[in-house]
Structure 1
Amino acid sequence: MHVHDAAIAGQRDSRRPAGVAVTRVDAWTWSVRLFKTRSAAASACRGGHVKINGATAKPAQPVVPGDEVRV
């Protein structure tokens, strides 16, 4: 790991308080059974059908408690 990579790895998402679990939006939408498969959830994200707090979500975008997810 390079020094720059270590600095990036040590950063945390400013939206999330310490100790709060983060989940990918494609995995979360699949786990709450909005989609039958995780790949279908990822495809919906790539197609622009999933929004987090009003913004289009990419499959790997993190979801934290308090976020509004629309499908």
Structure 2
Amino acid sequence: MILFVFLAIGVVAYLWWKRTHTTLTRDCRWRQDKPAGDWHCVACGARTVPPEGQSPRNCLRSARAG
């Protein structure tokens, strides 16, 4: 019984971690423009400026430019 509880907690923890660290960015390919300091997606054309020292993690297809 105790093993089942630990297994269930482990599965829930893994699923929570996977949910918080992966988003719908499978189709997005982010590239950083060094002079401008912003990021752009070569797949959909979205542009963003994430917090300092981080790269974009979310798909921004609905917010794409032009």
TM-score (norm 2): 0.29
TM-score (norm 1): 0.28
